[in-house]
């Protein structure tokens, strides 16, 4: 059994029940690279199927190359919109590509940064807020102790599991999650699963 799961089962009886129902921990990680964050921007506020369709169009347009800062920068807003992106997301991808190409965003350096520094490094990019940075920390950088207090799914899962009258605010979430340290990311994966949601970046 994963040491995180052992700790969470011991530390919180409510979470233990969720773990027993969900089964083994099997998070789907992604590499901490430009394309992963670009795909996260594409996926914001879309169903998984719609996001996959748009990303597939971008991947097809890139062939035989990969989706890189240079490739995104080479596309016009009209070309990005033709793939299904909104004007706002096209602008976000262009901003991410420019900042990465100019060395302002350094993906290779992220692994050595503390969580808060990663958030500060990524959030100047248009369309990348704290929530997106939290998802990148969990699913790309594999940080074990992230609590995404802005995630509606986590709030709803906590509300249901702990029989709360309303979804908890960030302070309440921090209090409930205190026993989960240093494995709050793993606990969140189980909370997503409790909603029958395939958690993903």
Distance (Å, whole) CA 123 – CA 63? 29
Query: In angstroms, rounded to a whole number, what is the distance separating the alpha carbons of residues 103 and 187?
Result: 34
CB atoms within 10 A of CB 78: 9
- In a 13 Å sphere around the CA of 126, the CA atoms on its Cβ side amount to 13
pTM here? 0.91
* pLDDT at residue 201 greater than cutoff 50: no
pLDDT score of 200: 47
Per-residue confidence at 47, pLDDT binned at 50, 70, 90? confident
Distances (CA, A) of 155 to 8, 16, 21: 18, 18, 19
Please identify every residue annotated as catalytic.
151
* Residue 94 shares a structural domain with residue 173: no
Is residue 50 domain-shared with residue 109, that is, in the same domain? yes
**Domain-embedded: residue 199:** no
In angstroms, the CA 63 to CA 102 distance is 24
- Structure confidence by residue, pLDDT tens digits, 6-31: 999 999 999 999 999 998 999 999 99
Residues 110 and 38 in one domain: yes
Domain count, the chain: 2
Going by the DSSP 8-state scheme, the letter that residue 113 receives in this structure is S
**Domain check: are 84 and 113 in the same one?**
yes
Residues 131 and 178 in one domain: no
64-93 per-position pLDDT tens digit: 889 999 999 999 999 999 999 999 999 999
Residues 104, 50, single domain; the answer is yes
Q: Are residues 125 and 165 in the same domain?
A: no
| Same domain for 125 and 102 | yes
pLDDT of residue 197: 55
Q: Is residue 174 part of a domain?
A: yes
Domain with 21 in it: 3-28+146-194
- Strands of 20-67 (E only): list them: none
170 and 135 within one domain: no
For residue 154, what is the domain's CATH number? Answer: 1.10.1670.40
| Distance separating alpha carbons of residues 127 and 153, to the nearest angstrom | 20
Q: What is the mean pLDDT of the chain?
A: 94
- Rounded-to-integer distance, Cα 146 and Cα 138, Å: 7
In this predicted structure, what is the pLDDT of residue 44?
87
User: Does 200 fall in a domain?
Assistant: no
Residue 4 has pLDDT above 70, yes or no: yes
Report the CATH number at residue 108. 1.10.340.30
Using one digit for the tens of pLDDT, what is the confidence trace for 108-154?
Answer: 999 999 999 999 999 999 999 999 999 999 999 999 999 999 999 99
């Amino acid at each position: 059994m994963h040491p995180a799961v052992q700790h969470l089962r011991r530390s919180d009886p409510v979470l233990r029940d969720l773990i027993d129902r969900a089964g083994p921990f099997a998070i789907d990680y992604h590499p901490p690279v430009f394309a992963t964050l670009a795909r996260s921007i594409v996926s914001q506020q879309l169903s998984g199927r719609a996001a996959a369709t748009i990303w597939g169009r971008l991947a097809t347009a890139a062939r035989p190359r990969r989706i890189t800062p240079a490739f995104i920068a080479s596309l016009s807003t009209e070309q990005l919109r033709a793939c299904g992106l909104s004007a706002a997301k096209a602008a976000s991808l262009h901003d991410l590509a420019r900042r990465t190409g100019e060395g302002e965003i350094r993906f290779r350096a992220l692994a050595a940064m503390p969580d808060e520094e990663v958030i500060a490094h990524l959030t100047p990019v248009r369309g990348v807020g704290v929530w997106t940075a939290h998802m990148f920390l969990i699913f790309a950088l594999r940080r074990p102790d992230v609590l995404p207090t802005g995630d509606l799914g986590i709030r709803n899962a906590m509300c249901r599991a702990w029989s709360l009258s309303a979804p908890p605010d960030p302070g309440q979430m921090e209090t409930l999650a205190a026993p989960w340290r240093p494995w709050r990311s793993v606990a969140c994966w189980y909370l997503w699963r409790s909603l029958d949601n395939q958690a993903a970046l």
